[in-house]
Structure 1
Amino acid sequence: MRITIHPKYAAQEQAILQLVTTFFEEGNLIVKGSRNTIKSNRLGEEKVNIKYFRKPGALKSVIYSFFRSTKAKRSYDYANYLLQYNIPTPFPIAYIEERNGLGLLGDSYYVSQQIDYDFTIRELIHDPLFPERNIILEQFAEFTFKMHEANVNFLDHSPGNTLIIKKGAGQYEFYLIDLNRMKFEPMSIEARMDNFKKMWLSKTMVKVIAKKYAQLSSQPEEKLHAILLEKTLDFKRKITKKKWLKRKLKRK
């Protein structure tokens, strides 16, 4: 195993390795996916998350081994980048890669602090009467604007990938998760609006976010509203069409 640990956790290397080696026997299951599994466990007095990335296929193993950073490494590196620009994300503790004698990637793991959150954007989508809904959306727009100003294009900016903590009346904190798909680049205003499309926003939500983003960016509200609405509706149409085609093919 190859392990990279944040300097703050250097003294706990053996405990971190123990969490990884006993991953399938211990800990509490959070997500069980076809490619990734996430569990929570204890590291000393602290609750942590361990994300397991299954061994890639032969071709991807070569790519991740020699030509591209692994998902675990990207998660760790991107988290450090976000924190450098004061964009909250669960603190990156370590990443671990299993390699064979040829240096080819096997399983890999990313370890981060556990965030006990209250809800995600998904709850706002399904509940138009969610308490302080517009306030949360305005602060979410501000959070995303800050991310864009730091040249972060979060390709998985979707309803479940921002954790929200209520700090008090009208006060919320946002934390990005599932970080391994990002680009770091200056973004045009169209690209910034496009970055919201996976949020599955209603027309009312589009209006709130466009208005707040316009205030922050000094762009015309009407312009941002038109772009954001177009991107959102186009994305919804594409996803709906894909689902329709899948159902049709299954019937055949």
Structure 2
Amino acid sequence: TYRSSFWYLPNPGLEPTISQTAEISINHKVNQYLNLTLTGYYTHMRDLISSVPDNGNTNLYNNRYLGYPVDYIEVPFNAGTQKNYGGNLIINSAFSIGASRFKAWTSVSYVDGTVMESGPSSKIVEVHLPFVAPWQFRAGIDGHSGNFNYSVRLLHSGKQRLTGFTDDANPHHRQLLPGFTLVNASAGYTWKERFTFFAKVQNALNQRYRNPVDVDLNDNNSITFHGSLQDPLRVMAGLTFSLQ
């Protein structure tokens, strides 16, 4: 008398996903204070693994498992390809001002790509990658002056892609979440080489930003939020003690 509405079952014919990557990196030391690195890459993946109905794809079980009826059976299946490409430019610098020493860096990165997904009428179409912010800018500086140390970090993220499309009938342009700018800072003072007083500020600009999730912004009854809410402004302070 046993029956089930759903089972997720293995596919004995499943093949591994194959990934091939080409990368080039160029490094140039401008002088003793400045260093540049430029990197580019391209990755091609095939036989991606996704979950599909058994009926119409593998036809391994025909709505039965060990002789028992199952309304819907899902299996892993090799389908589609994915292409990733991008690059970044990194600038590193180290210098001194009087008795203070500094290390500074900045970078600009770009990442994009396409993936094969099920579109209208279950047709497989090539679309842009979700869960990415194609453009990002980062910068930071660390300093050390006697017993004081301090650092500042900046991250600016461009618009972020979601899984949903602006037009479901023509799945080409992904829905977007706004970009954001984060500033984090920290400082510390070491006393008698054992005690360190520190303070940290995260999200100093108090950005109310969200990260992308699997969601369709056109669905007002979505079971998930329209983006994952992140931490607002946070300030921490404390004391550390070394036994050595």
Would the TM-score normalized by the shorter structure come out above 0.5? no
Q: Larger Rg: 1 or 2? A: 2
Q: TM-score, normalised by structure 1?
A: 0.23
Which protein has greater RCO, CA pairs closer than 8 Å, 6+ apart?
1
Bigger fraction of residues in strand: 2
Bigger fraction of residues in helix: 1
Q: TM-score, normalised by structure 2?
A: 0.24
